[in-house]
Structures are given as structure tokens and as C-alpha cells.
Amino acid sequence: MNIILLGPPGAGKGTQAKKLEDKYGLKQLSTGDMLRAEIAAGTDLGVQAKQIIDRGDLVSDDIIIGMISSRTEQDDCQNGVIFDGFPRTVAQAEALENMLSDKGQRIDAVIELKVDEEALVGRLENRIAEMKAAGQEVRSDDNAETLRHRLATFREQTAPIIPFFADKDMLRTVDGMQAIDAVEAAIDAVIDEAKTVS
């Protein structure tokens, strides 16, 4: 089973992906983590990617898809994967569908965690205040301004793939502002529905 989790930074994708990994034996794939691993391992893809990144350019969709293709063939991906932070564009979504189709697989569910952005900023500000009050160090990029920028970037980049999957009747929306357990239950319901279709 292959799942795409969509949602802005702070929506809880990482928390829910971990629960899905534990419950269904799926593997969470983050393209950023995969790129770093390829570069560290010195693979052909990693060498190519490092040259591109060192020039300050973005790694092409072809390289990313090639990396995902080889990663999904590893043993820990046999039950399926959770795509986190990918695809970000319609071109990437189409390339992902084609790559999976070539392997006799497909995307089984696209789950959007819908959140109130201002409430996310409020949560972050509360968390920072609590950390400061407890004498804990706060990361320099852990602030409302940075979060607002990341939320805007998410809207700009990822907005087009939401109608792309909705038009294919693949998109399911979950209220990400609920308690963690309620979000988990809603995601489980989407997965149960996807299983009956497959």
C-alpha cells in the first residue's frame, strides 16, 4: 500500500507517518533524507545530486524519481511506503504514478491533513514560550515568521497537486486540528476504504 501524506509544516504528518509505519508496516520516505543518504553513500545518484546541490540548483524530478524507484525496491518497503514531502508538483505526481505503474503498483490513498494556519502559528508561539519559561534552548529557525514563510511556500508549491488528486477522486481530507488520536482514527478510516477498493 502506497500513501501520500499532504499538509503544511506543523500539520502532524511526521507524527501520523510514524503511527502508520508501526501499524501497517509501511516505510516513511522523505526525499530530503533519501538525498542525504545517497550523497553520504557516494552512489552514482548521490554524486550527481551533490554536484547539482553544490551549484545551488534544485535536484531534477528525474533524479528524485530514480532515487525513489530504487528505494522502494529495498526490503523495508515491501509492504508499501508513505510519501512525505513528495510529490510537490503535478509533474512529480505524474512521474510518481508512472514509476509505480511500471512496477505494477499504484498510489492507494492521498491524505491531506487540513489545518488552520493561524492556529498552527499560535501553537508554535505557545510552545516557544513554554520552552523559554522552562529554560530550554529554542532553535533560531523555530519562530512564527519562519513558520509563516514555510506555510506560504507550501501553499504556493503544493496547491496544484491537491486538485490534481481530487480530480482523480484519490484525495481524502482529514481535519488535522483534531486531537492526535482522532486524526489517527480518521486516517485509519481512509486506509480501510482504500483497502476495500484494492
Annotated catalytic residues are: 13, 88, 127, 139, 150
* Phi then psi dihedrals of residue 99, to 5 deg: -65, -45
Residue 21 and residue 28 in contact, taking contact as beta carbons nearer than 8 Å: yes
Partners of 6 in the β-ladder: 112
Q: Which three cell numbers stand for residue 184?
A: 489517527
How far is the C-alpha of 142 from the C-alpha of 152, rounded, in Å? 16
Report the candidate in 57, 102, 110 with the shortest Cα–Cα distance to residue 86.
Answer: 110
Q: Which three cell numbers stand for residue 66?
A: 530514480
Q: Which three cell numbers stand for residue 106?
A: 499504484
Residue 80 and residue 26 in contact, taking contact as beta carbons nearer than 8 Å: yes
